[in-house]
Amino acid sequence: MLFSEQTLKRAWQRAGGKCESTRMVGGEKVPCCRDLHWEKHGQLHEAQGWLGHHRVKLANGIIDVAANCEIICRECHRQIQPDGNVLTANQAG
Ligand SMILES: [Zn+2]
């Protein structure tokens, strides 16, 4: 399930239009802060594409609130497993 547009907009404004995730660089987590484009939501083939990522998933569904929506770029999305674990660079291949 996806977030509502209203929730996405709130999260987007909080993020300032940048990726909120962290990336593994040299074994350390650093803020990504990649500049993204609002109109490229879900367009992960685009350099400025992004997604609303669920920080917490519940068994009975999602929590559709901005606090649970993390704006992430396609590069960070690629590093995140469905179970929320972050892959190392080696595992991500
Ligand atoms: Zn990112």
pLDDT tens for 24-67 read: 889 998 999 999 999 999 999 999 999 999 888 766 665 788 99
Q: What is the pLDDT of residue 91?
A: 43
Helix (H) or strand (E) holding 54: strand 50-54
**Span from the CA of 63 to the centroid of ligand 1 (angstroms):** 22
Tell me how far the alpha carbon of residue 23 lies from the centroid of ligand 1, in angstroms.
7
What is the chain's mean pLDDT, rounded? 84
41: which 2 tokens? Answer: 């939501």
Ligand 1 centre to CA of 64 (Å) is 21
Q: Separation of 18 CA from ligand 1 center, angstroms?
A: 8
User: Is the sign of the CA dihedral 18, 69, 88, 49 positive or negative?
Assistant: negative
pLDDT at 72: 96
Quote the ligand 1 centre to 59 CA distance (angstroms). Answer: 26
Q: 62 alpha carbon to ligand 1 midpoint, in Å?
A: 22
